[in-house]
Structure 1
Amino acid sequence: MTYQTIDLQTDARGVATLTLARPEKRNAISAQMIADLTDAATVLAADTAVRVVVLAALGDSFCAGGDLGWMRDQMVADGPTRAAEARKLAMMLAALNNLPKPLIGRVQGQAYGGGIGLMAVCDVVVGVEGARFGLTETRLGLIPATIGPYVIARMGAACARRVFASSRVFDAAQAVGLNLISQLVPADGLDAAIEVEVLSYLSCAPGAVVEAKALIRHLSPAPDAAQIEVSIAALVTRWESAECAEGLAAFFAKTRPSWVQ
């Protein structure tokens, strides 16, 4: 299947590589990417030949977060349209989070906002030394809303409190301490480390892996439908706020919003 913003390839072993393919936009999450990732997650879940999925990205950045043009469109949209777009984003994350196959994050560069959300829905994340990360939404008058349930589930509330609201940028070593990255490697060791993770799953019974992952979802305090609805409503409320209007306007005008000290 051909996609506009991602690439999906599966090798003879049943290892699928799902690649964010907007390097010129630092792989920012657009409306089309949301649709493409949602469809790909559905395809991968149903494909019995797929045993492991690697989430990768082209270029220097893993994912810069939400596409600012897409967010700007929400500022002029009506209420039902905003809610529908927020729901599409939330359902894309849920589809990846609930993928029955192991999902390994191959993080070769920086990730912000929604990129952190994509890392949080992976089962294992291998990242490179020197990469930078941040939940930078509050600088724009936004909040990490629809990614919130997954980020908090991954980090734990105590770690999330350190970076969730401050827009503080942190390095790869700190990302390990925040439970966001499972293993940190030099850039030239990334593919070898990913292969080690892949082989560990390929040595296991495929059905047992699927059922083990399902058991984790049932036994852990994973994001539920009510939390997802709260996150959707929170995002729509922020999109409708005066702070969001000011923050995005200031970003595009390359000026400072009034709250910057």
Structure 2
Amino acid sequence: MSVTLTITKTKVAILELSRPEKHNAFDDAVIAELIKCIEHANSLDIRALVLKTDGKHFSAGADLGWMKSMAGNNFDENVADSKQLAKLMSVLANCPHPTLCLVQGAAFGGALGLIACCDIAVATENAKFCLSEVKLGLIPAVISPYVIKAIGERQARRYFLTAEVFTANTALDLGLIHEISDDLVHSQAQFIELLLNNGPSAVRSAKTLINEVAGNPIDETLIHHTAQRIAQIRVSPEGQEGLSAFFDKRAPNWQHAAKQ
């Protein structure tokens, strides 16, 4: 199996694509496996989801052999196929748990969609990125909502059209990744520790809050909604525990649970 999902003792799900002989490119079978694993992880009582791949490169995007076979299908068959990739992006982007993506080597085409769908992305200094679709006479259609949200329309106008390869430093400047690391294992441990220090329900609610607030005007409706949200979490068991722990100068119960 090229996709594995492992749950650690600290309730962290590790989702790994291992297809190094194909540069971790994905076809219909891999997409189906990823969807199945992410949907399962989304249903679990976990604290975070880590997306990583095995081998020299993060992912070459769509498998060329699979793309060649799809070129012989009709329009309706191509729509159905593309909807599966869209579903993959959606289930990852809407994961209720915090998501961390670790990127090494090349990340091309659809791989940038996976990166953009995650909450936090870290890449090695030698990582290379490319929205390569137009080189093949195609467009990055399915991943576009997530990539444009990550890097903005202005930058998308350049990189969607030129299909130029860009560095990790440029990806950092664009907002596609959050950090450059020379040790992804250490970065994974560092970010997981940060996440596990925080209230599990608060982290999930913060993710929901971002989706509710982003892009909306700051009007009376939004102000009322955000006031309700903070009030709800203040009176929740986790909110009460967090405030009590702070004033009692002790660690909250979720930190103890994470260390067990």
Which of the five TM-score ranges fits, normalised by the shorter chain? 0.7 to 0.9
Aligned residues: 216
Which amino acid in 2 is paired with 1:131?
A
Question: Which structure is higher in RCO with an 8 Å CA cutoff and minimum separation 6?
Answer: 1
Deviates more, 1:190-199 or 1:53-62: 190-199
**Partner residue of 2:62 out of 54, 60, 66:** 66
The secondary structure found in structure 2 opposite 1:126 is strand
Instruction: Describe how 1:143-162 pairs up with structure 2 within 5 A.
Output: 143-162=139-158
Per the alignment, residue 20 of structure 2 pairs with: 23
For 2:63 and 2:48, the matched residues in 1 are separated by 28
Given candidates 87, 95, 99, the residue that maps to 1:99 is: 95
- Counterpart amino acid of residue 28 in structure 2: A
Match of 1:140 in 2: 136
Tell me which stretches of 4 or more aligned residues in structure 1 moved more than 6 Å.
none
Shift of 1:29: 1.2
Alignment of 1:74-113 (within 5 A): 74-113=70-109
- Of the candidates 138, 154, 173, which is equivalent to residue 177 of structure 1? 173
What RMSD in Å do the two structures reach over aligned CA positions?
1.2
- Does residue 32 (structure 1) correspond to residue 9 (structure 2)? The answer is no
- The corresponding residue for 1:13 is 10
Residue 78 of structure 1, CA deviation:
2.0
Amino acid aligned to 1:28: A
- Matched residues, percent identical? 38
Structure 2 residue runs without a partner (length 5+): 217-260
CA offsets per residue over residues 165-196 of structure 1, 9 Å max, x none? 1110011111111111100011xx22111211
Counting only pairs closer than 5 Å after superposition, residues 207-246 of structure 1 correspond to structure 2 as 207-221=201-215
CA contact (8 A) 2:104 2:126 kept: no
**How far, CA to CA, are the matches of 1:95 and 1:130 in structure 2?**
29
> Unaligned regions of 5+ residues in structure 1, if any?
223-261
Aligned equivalents of 2:69, 2:213: Cα separation in 1: 39
Larger Rg: 2
Q: Distance in 2 between matches of 1:73 and 1:88?
A: 16
Is contact 1:160–1:178 with CA below 8 Å preserved after alignment? no
Equivalent in 108, 112, 119 of residue 116 of structure 1? 112
What is the CA-CA distance between 1:47 and the residue it aligns to? 0.5
TM-score, structure 1 normalization: 0.80
Q: Hey, what's the Cα distance between the residues in 2 that align with 1:214 and 1:87?
A: 24
Instruction: Give the secondary-structure state (helix, strand or coil) at the position aligned to 2:16.
Output: strand
**Residue in 2 aligned with 1:197?**
191
8 Å Cα contact 1:64/1:115 also seen in 2:
yes
Shift of 1:68: 1.1
